[in-house]
Structure 1
Amino acid sequence: MVFPEDNQYSYARWQLGKKLFYDPVLSRDSSLSCASCHKLELAFADDRAFSPGIQNRPGTRNATSLTNIGYHPYFLREGSVPTLEMQALVPVQEHNEFDHSMPEIAAKLQANARYRQMSEEAYEREPDPWVITRALGVFQRSLISGNSPYDRYQYQGESQALNKAEIRGMALFFSSRTQCASCHSGFNFSNYAFENNGLDSVYQDPLRMRLTNDPADEGRAKVPSLRNLAFSAPYMHDGRFQNLAEVIQHYQKGGAGHPNQSELIRPFSLSNQEQDDLIAFLLALSDPTFTQNQSFSEAGH
């Protein structure tokens, strides 16, 4: 993982970032924190299709898991933000999320003796917007997960870590029949490309086209990681699928036929047993030691 030159890891920076992550001071009415929508027990995702913002304002997209977020090359579904430090500005300023501003947040933190002390220890300066975004970036880069049954089987030599159904599902996942691994590749199960996976024939949320204004990008979004799926339902950018069986049924149908739909999305057929096996493998990409790691909790050290 690459840390920016101006934001290398230190324990003091990590502590400050974690404190900020759990502090509702980031929202205008001090009702929500980052952890309100990115919960440790859910692999730093949410279990609602749309997480409400302050004053119960409606959310617009499903909160993604922060699992291994430090390895991503860009952020948000449309890939519009190049660094974690910049990404922190988005929920803070969004009207339907925190509806706040970094200068106002910094003024509150500067009036807090504990934050002033922690900021000096971490960055040798007062808690200004630069410090706030950097510290949050350091904490989020620490959210590393790599101890799922699949990891233990594939990388740690534990031949019994996967059962027979999960091994059959793994073969299906990496097969040409399903094409899952064409997009969900690499250790994080994402190639980070922007693809239209055929969810709709008409998109209410234009996704990447929101950034580029190019009709060829309508419905295209960054391929998500599949790690910790057991904890992060519902699925898709709008949380439309409640479980993995619904996800697989969507792909088996071959998509809704949008003009931008990826050519990799095409109909295929799995037996009931094969669907169960594929789901078993997908669930085996989940790492309970990550969601139970109390060093990531608000009270943990």
Structure 2
Amino acid sequence: MKLRLNKSNRLVLGAILIAISVAFFSCSDQKESYELNIPEWFPKPEIPADNPLTTKKVKLGKQLFFDARFSSDFSLSCASCHLPAYAFSDTVAFSSGVHKRSGERNSPTLVNVAYKPHFFKDGGIESLELQALAPIDHPGEMDISTTTIVDRLRKDSLYQQSFKEVFNSGVTMRGITYALAAYQRTLIYGNSKYDRVVHEKSASFSDLEKRGQNLFNSDSLNCSKCHSGVFFTNYSFQNNGLKANYADSGRAKVTSDPDDAGKFVVLTLRNVEVTGPYMYDGSLKSLSQVIDHYASGGSDHRNKSTLIDGFSLSDNNKKALIAYLKTLTDKEFQQNPNQ
């Protein structure tokens, strides 16, 4: 989810979790552990010791993820801004919150979120459990208090039963966030054409796709300097020259360091074909526009990455690069959008 938080807000949210953890459960459905479906070429994700994956917890988290009672006007669920058919991203620059209010940043994909070391485009949150709290009381998103959410769910006998089975407790906010995090950690996908070609050796790139791969990895384009590894991101924070002046200061909101102004986390390119519009503000509508931006060298800014220095690319080579990027699309979530 997409809200940015500064240091003081993160401390407040941390205090909330500490306060409510006192009365939290002491045991859960440990016997029914959930086995993640992890591609052989993916690393094993780190699962917090205090939030092990269990079948019933994941099922509960999925129910919560699609529940519109999380918004003040009952109009939105987590899935309203993270659409399963689009790799759990949105199709607009800014998702609509309650009462048609606009968000502040483009909603990112949640696919393979289990591997992320930090959350939000400024890296302001370091826990998937804590992240789940952020959109709840934001006026541009769910605009609801945690107390109201808990009260609503406590009136549901099925939720009461589920929380008892999973957490050996009644409905609590910590239980809600832990179940949501558990479900999101199961959204692991690595069955794209790229994977079948490179890792399984069961398919082949077309000539166009192969040319695109060579361009992607070339020193002239520098794509793979940041979009590297099995997830096509090094999770670093970069200013890519999108703006000459940033109203949204990005990473600097978290660090208060002017050298971080305009820096945002490098996003995964897996499923990039279906996660547009692109950039932190959704200002680039297509992959073609993204390539044009980098080819131009971007706007001048004191913090712009030295890797963004422009390049020349023919129309045919642009088509090749886009063809290669499309091999990173995993069709499985599209064929089974309800997960």
TM-score, normalised to structure 1, is 0.96
Is 2:320 the counterpart of 1:277? yes
| Matching residue of 1:244 | 287
| Matching residue of 2:110 | 66
Is 2:173 the counterpart of 1:124? no
Could you tell me how far apart the structure 2 residues matched to 1:189 and 1:289 are? 19
CA contact (8 A) 2:84 2:338 kept: no
- The AA in structure 2 aligned to 1:27 is S
- The AA in structure 2 aligned to 1:86 is L
Given candidates 137, 140, 144, the residue that maps to 2:181 is 137
| Shift in alpha-carbon separation, 1:63–1:197, aligned structure 2, 3 A | same
- How many residues get paired? 295
CA contact (8 A) 1:209 1:217 kept: yes
| Matching residue of 1:19 | 63
- The AA in structure 1 aligned to 2:304 is Q
Could you tell me how far apart the structure 2 residues matched to 1:41 and 1:295 are? 8
- The AA in structure 1 aligned to 2:50 is D
Given candidates 196, 211, 218, the residue that maps to 1:152 is 196
Identity %: 42
Q: CA offsets, 1:100-119, max 9 Å, x none?
A: 12222112111210001111
Could you tell me how far apart the structure 2 residues matched to 1:208 and 1:292 are? 36
| Matching residue of 1:89 | 133
Given candidates 42, 55, 72, the residue that maps to 2:86 is 42
Could you tell me how far apart the structure 1 residues matched to 2:113 and 2:197 are? 23
Q: CA offsets, 1:65-96, max 9 Å, x none?
A: 11101100000011010111000011112111
| Matching residue of 1:260 | 303
CA contact (8 A) 1:103 1:128 kept: no
Q: CA offsets, 1:206-243, max 9 Å, x none?
A: 11112222211111011000111121111111111111
CA contact (8 A) 1:38 1:63 kept: yes
TM-score, normalised to structure 2, is 0.85
Could you tell me how far apart the structure 2 residues matched to 1:32 and 1:47 are? 16
Could you tell me how far apart the structure 2 residues matched to 1:294 and 1:235 are? 22
Could you tell me how far apart the structure 2 residues matched to 1:102 and 1:190 are? 33
| Matching residue of 2:213 | 170
- The AA in structure 1 aligned to 2:250 is L
RMSD: 1.0
CA contact (8 A) 2:250 2:262 kept: yes
Could you tell me how far apart the structure 2 residues matched to 1:164 and 1:290 are? 27
| Matching residue of 2:246 | 203
Could you tell me how far apart the structure 2 residues matched to 1:294 and 1:33 are? 15
**Alpha-carbon shift at residue 292 of structure 1 (Å):** 1.9
CA contact (8 A) 1:54 1:96 kept: yes
CA contact (8 A) 2:213 2:324 kept: yes
CA contact (8 A) 2:85 2:337 kept: no
Gaps of 5+ in 2: 1-44
**Alpha-carbon shift at residue 294 of structure 1 (Å):** 4.7
1:204-219 aligned within 5 A: 204-219=247-262
